Chain A
């Protein structure tokens, strides 16, 4: 036994010296670790017949309904890019360089991953796509926490990230990245669009109570809505953070009843919003009289999928969306038609933004004539287009945020079908929601990563 312990000490010393030499060896023999980019990651070879895109969406967790719809849209976009099906928005996009034969003549293939609505899992799945499957672009999201995390990773790895459903100001604000692009609108825009409607419908003397999802999106949305409403003259009674995916919100809703507030703002999304809204209605908040006024509930970020989940509770409730399938313009109609033909029901706003993002990426590659990220990024920056459902739209170069019109909607009192749940209150023009990109700080970072 004593023999053994001797061995331990000496052996340990020997091994640790050897290991430290081995670990630092590269330092002694290093020539140069940094060089100018010659090739970029995952660019398909000239003789390759295909190009691979990665779609990273939540298939489990609080945002899985949105994730499932996003995946449907991605599949449809790939079909249309490859010239199959009826073409959808490929036909209505103006100006367009798309030819319906894939991207730059290469057939589009795709791989999928599950973000589980968790940053760690999303990054692991994105890394798998980049390192193993060799994707040139990653799209997807649902949850800004995930989008910010994956966008940061994509910048490090030099692969373009076309954000899907992410509404936090941080995605194109403090955490913006050169390799990340967002078509979806953000909390700041929601505030600007909602303000005038709230003033008109609820007046200027209101007391608001916020329940907020405890992560980047919730924080920024709460901040933007409070800024807007306080400018109207409203008071903020309290803002309470709730964990994502809580399921039971009753412990957070009970205090609202006795707080003296007459407006409840639910900064929740997906299944969280369905649960918190349903429980608020069960607690008798809707239709209650407080301070001599009718109690109101606001859900700043709305979607048809959530309306479907929340059923009758949604009636009369105000919010904003990026897009709605009931829009009458040519692009929206074409998209709803081909989505409906494929799956038998209309697309959600999550599906719309993901579909558009995929087409925009493909179009930018065609414009640049190359898959090299710096050239594709330059083609996207400042790109102006129309015919994609939101009127004339611009990808602002300073922060990679799309500027376009957005919608203020209300839950319909008398829906004509199970999908016709939201009525459009107002189409807010781009000029009303535009803001100075400098207000959020942040830095885009370099074009070339290698």
Chain B
């Protein structure tokens, strides 16, 4: 009874929404609660959750997903330039256009499976990157990146009579500028959203919506069929299923997730650069998913958070700050600690990420989520909980409907 209640969709969504929307508060102690990083957490969370729908469910490892992120960004910026600074049409267009790209790339790539599929997606991604970087400079503005200009037509905005007086216009939702501070009165309660946090809340709400969709897909007949493709595609074909349409649907959906993430990136910062489509960016989302736990609901989100945290916080630490972190230690020990830790922070943050990734892959093939599950079991055994489960456990066990991942 209790177990079923803990696994029910409304409860999971409630807990998830609460955790996401209060992120600015509980991420504060580790120095990660400033708007830009919070926005990145949410946006790359969406990216990874979408990627997981393909990789986690069907086992098809795409090495070119950053293409859709880039396409989404470019589409959104063009929508700002040509149509309106409102982010709603920008996001819708970003999803549609990246969906079309995913349909085309998926149609060809999905003719093969395994390593050949990965190579094909990588090839398409490199092609898209080179096109954006040099060949299509009139559309993408090459290395400099696509930016807004005051003279842009913005047809819908000018029809609505919006005049930009000086400087560049900001992306907005029906007049609420994304980067600005916002105060309003909600049922007699004064609410004040600091500058930049509106962008986070927009991204967070999108994250909650797409997480809900992802949860529903995981628990649907469609999701089950995708899992069947992962566990034994040949047998599935023998039973009379044509697997290709299912795979293509999953590929397009995850491409649209990436497009939404790209559109959001452009909405909080209206600039699109080709480096967003580079193979390193495609590799990053694979890392995020595997690090967090492929095939689990929450895992990719955790992976995205960990990687973005390392990238933004660890890369900015320098020896002076390390000294103040270890200041509780005696002088000699402090110096030794700083010497040991220094190569792993600042420019060396990739080293930390690499080590972490190796440890996870070797000891916890199921990612951070597997670690949490072990921890949960340990706690249960130690304290003799047999009937109730922790909330993390309840979310992670959603994936237990799947046969244990092929990684084992």
Stretch in A8-16, A304-312, A426-434 with 4+ CB within 8 Å of B: A8-16
Question: Cβ of B334 < 8 Å from any Cβ of A?
Answer: no
Whether B347 pairs with A60 at a CB distance below 8 angstroms is: yes
Interface residues of A in 5-48 (CB under 8 A from B): 5, 7-8, 11-12, 15-16, 19, 22-27, 29-34, 41
Interface residues of B in 180-234 (CB under 8 A from A): 180-187, 195-196, 202, 205, 208-209, 212-213, 216, 219-221
Whether B134 pairs with A33 at a CB distance below 8 angstroms is: no
| Candidates B144, B166, B208, B221; contact of A119 at CB < 8 Å | B144
Residue of B nearest to A23 (CB): B205
Question: Cβ of B60 < 8 Å from any Cβ of A?
Answer: no
Q: List 11 A-B contacts (CB under 8 A).
A: A16-B209, A19-B208, A26-B184, A33-B177, A120-B145, A125-B316, A127-B36, A178-B167, A214-B137, A244-B143, A445-B168
| Candidates A23, A152, A446, A450; contact of B147 at CB < 8 Å | A152
- With A149-B271, A214-B134, A446-B166 in contact, is A131–B36 under 8 Å at CB? yes
Complex CA gap A19/B17 in Å reads: 11
- With A33-B180, A41-B195, A124-B312 in contact, is A19–B209 under 8 Å at CB? yes
Residue of B nearest to A179 (CB): B167
Residues in B with CB closer than 8 Å to A235 are none
Complex CA gap A445/B167 in Å reads: 4
Question: What is the 8 Å Cβ interface bit string for chain A, positions 231-245, against chain B (1 contact, 0 not)?
Answer: 000000000010110
- With A15-B209, A31-B185 in contact, is A145–B175 under 8 Å at CB? no
Whether B205 pairs with A22 at a CB distance below 8 angstroms is: yes
Stretch in A109-117, A181-189, A346-354 with 4+ CB within 8 Å of B: A109-117
Whether A443 pairs with B150 at a CB distance below 8 angstroms is: yes
Question: Cβ of A132 < 8 Å from any Cβ of B?
Answer: yes
Residues in B with CB closer than 8 Å to A128 are 34, 36-37, 312, 316
Whether A27 pairs with B176 at a CB distance below 8 angstroms is: yes
Min Cβ gap B168→A in Å is: 7
Residue of B nearest to A111 (CB): B316
Complex CA gap A443/B166 in Å reads: 8
Whether B219 pairs with A4 at a CB distance below 8 angstroms is: yes
Min Cβ gap A379→B in Å is: 21
Min Cβ gap B126→A in Å is: 13
Question: Cβ of A216 < 8 Å from any Cβ of B?
Answer: yes
Residues in A with CB closer than 8 Å to B269 are 123, 127, 153
Whether A132 pairs with B34 at a CB distance below 8 angstroms is: yes
Residue of B nearest to A145 (CB): B144
How many residues on chain B are close to A (CB under 8 Å)? 58
Complex CA gap A95/B285 in Å reads: 54
Residue of A nearest to B269 (CB): A123
Interface residues of B in 89-135 (CB under 8 A from A): 133-134
Question: Cβ of B318 < 8 Å from any Cβ of A?
Answer: yes
Question: Cβ of A118 < 8 Å from any Cβ of B?
Answer: yes
Min Cβ gap A245→B in Å is: 10
Complex CA gap A11/B209 in Å reads: 12
Residue of A nearest to B8 (CB): A7
| Candidates B173, B184, B271, B315; contact of A123 at CB < 8 Å | B271
Whether A120 pairs with B34 at a CB distance below 8 angstroms is: no
Known: A24-B173, A131-B34, A214-B143; 17 extra A-B contacts, CB below 8 A, are: A4-B219, A4-B220, A5-B221, A12-B212, A15-B209, A23-B173, A25-B186, A26-B182, A32-B183, A33-B176, A127-B35, A128-B36, A128-B316, A145-B145, A152-B147, A214-B134, A214-B137
Complex CA gap A445/B187 in Å reads: 37
Residues in B with CB closer than 8 Å to A5 are 220-221
Complex CA gap A156/B144 in Å reads: 18
Question: Cβ of B273 < 8 Å from any Cβ of A?
Answer: yes
Question: Cβ of B254 < 8 Å from any Cβ of A?
Answer: no
Residue of A nearest to B187 (CB): A29
Residues in A with CB closer than 8 Å to B175 are 27, 33
Question: What is the 8 Å Cβ interface bit string for chain A, positions 422-450, against chain B (1 contact, 0 not)?
Answer: 00000000000000000000010110011
Whether A8 pairs with B216 at a CB distance below 8 angstroms is: yes
Whether B134 pairs with A131 at a CB distance below 8 angstroms is: no
Whether B216 pairs with A12 at a CB distance below 8 angstroms is: yes
Question: Cβ of A59 < 8 Å from any Cβ of B?
Answer: yes
- With A23-B205, A243-B143 in contact, is A1–B221 under 8 Å at CB? yes
Question: What is the 8 Å Cβ interface bit string for chain B, positions 252-287, against chain A (1 contact, 0 not)?
Answer: 000000000000000001010101100000000000
**In this complex, which of B37, B40, B145, B196 has the most chain A Cβ atoms within 10 angstroms of its Cβ?**
B145
Whether A214 pairs with B142 at a CB distance below 8 angstroms is: yes
Complex CA gap A208/B147 in Å reads: 32
Residues in B with CB closer than 8 Å to A4 are 219-221
Residues in B with CB closer than 8 Å to A12 are 212-213, 216
Interface residues of B in 366-383 (CB under 8 A from A): none
- With A26-B182, A118-B273, A120-B275 in contact, is A216–B144 under 8 Å at CB? yes
Min Cβ gap B117→A in Å is: 28
Min Cβ gap A261→B in Å is: 22
Min Cβ gap B280→A in Å is: 11
